[in-house]
Chains A and B, each alone.
Chain A
Amino acid sequence: MRVTVRLFARLREAAGRPAWPLDLPDGATVSDVWQAVVGAHPALEPFGAALSAAVNAEFARMSARVHDGDEVAFLPPVSGGAADDESVTQ
């Protein structure tokens, strides 16, 4: 099956591309998609520690199954997780 990977913000910058098609075996999960993304872009590996995912623009767990034609998005931490005391990264 084939899914479309989408990356945002720092993930997109680190990969150097916002989206691409990815072929996976049937039964693959969001986690499998992420492993394939990291395989293609090893610089993304550290982002796995704080990551959200969405399938077809709905939040999804890493254990969720993906299906042919799905859009699988990976989201780095959002801009305001901690009240007013934000942390600067980079």
Chain B
Amino acid sequence: MACERFAVQHGPLSVEALTRAVEADARPRGEGCGAVASFVGVVRGTHQGRPVRHLEYEAFEPLAVKVFARIAEEVAEHWPDATLAIHHRIGRLNVGEASVVVVAATPHRAEAFEVCRYGIERVKQIAPVWKHEFLADGDAWIEGAAADPDDRDARNAALARASRAMA
């Protein structure tokens, strides 16, 4: 009945289903669940002013799912009462479609925003997922930095952004 908390899938993502699953997982823990924050990454219609036709996402699926679970372990170190779930879509996506959903459930609202922000920042830093953009006039792979889950600076940067989410 409950959906997996960490997944890579070809089909459309469901924020509602994931939210329900995370809330149900969080309810019996600690103080219970008083807040659920969700982040949805969607395909933007422009890149640096140029129109985007569609995107293709590629992932190293088994490693990506392990990375999502690892991010949840990192979350548990800082927010022991939080429950995190991450679903990423792969394949061809059109403008406006959801590419990634991060849901965080916590006893109180402040931590829910923090955990959600931390989760998406870490996904961007270390999940083996690649974005190939198809524009009207060409295509481009969008690349940041090489994934290194043991890079403390990157992790601290994600923590700083998470706490800034509440500043």
Residues of A within 8 A of B (CB): 6, 8-10, 50-52, 54, 57-59, 73, 75-83, 86-90
Some 10 contacts from A to B, beta carbons below 8 A apart, are A9-B132, A51-B146, A57-B63, A77-B144, A77-B145, A78-B124, A78-B130, A79-B141, A86-B143, A87-B144
Known contacts A8-B128, A57-B66, A58-B66; A77/B143 CB under 8 A: yes
Q: What residues on A are CB-neighbors of B128 within 8 Å?
A: 8, 52, 54, 75, 78
Structural contact, A9 and B63, CB atoms closer than 8 A: no
Structural contact, B146 and A75, CB atoms closer than 8 A: yes
Known contacts A78-B125, A80-B123, A81-B125; A10/B60 CB under 8 A: no
Q: How many residues of B contact A (CB 8 A)?
A: 33
Q: What residues on A are CB-neighbors of B66 within 8 Å?
A: 57-58
Q: What residues on A are CB-neighbors of B126 within 8 Å?
A: 78
Interface string of B117-155 (1 = CB under 8 A from A): 000010111111111110000011111111111100000
Known contacts A78-B129, A88-B47; A57/B60 CB under 8 A: yes
Whether a CB of chain A sits under 8 angstroms from the CB of B74 is no
Q: What residues on B are CB-neighbors of A59 within 8 Å?
A: 63, 147-150
Distance in angstroms between the alpha carbons of A62 and B60 in the assembled complex: 18
Structural contact, B142 and A54, CB atoms closer than 8 A: no
Q: Which of B52-111 contact A (CB under 8 A)?
A: 57-58, 60, 62-63, 66
Distance in angstroms between the alpha carbons of A58 and B66 in the assembled complex: 8
Highest count of chain B CB atoms <10 Å: which of A10, A59, A80, A82? A80
Structural contact, A90 and B63, CB atoms closer than 8 A: no
Distance in angstroms between the alpha carbons of A26 and B127 in the assembled complex: 31
Distance in angstroms between the alpha carbons of A52 and B128 in the assembled complex: 9
Other than the known A57-B62, A80-B131, A88-B140, what 10 A-B pairs have Cβ atoms closer than 8 Å? A8-B128, A9-B130, A10-B143, A76-B141, A78-B129, A79-B143, A80-B123, A80-B142, A81-B143, A86-B144
Q: What residues on B are CB-neighbors of A86 within 8 Å?
A: 142-144
Structural contact, A8 and B125, CB atoms closer than 8 A: no
Structural contact, A83 and B141, CB atoms closer than 8 A: no
Structural contact, B146 and A88, CB atoms closer than 8 A: no
Whether a CB of chain A sits under 8 angstroms from the CB of B161 is yes
Chain B, residue nearest A84 (CB): B124
Structural contact, A89 and B141, CB atoms closer than 8 A: yes
A50 touches which one: B57, B121, B132, B146 (CB < 8 A)?
B146
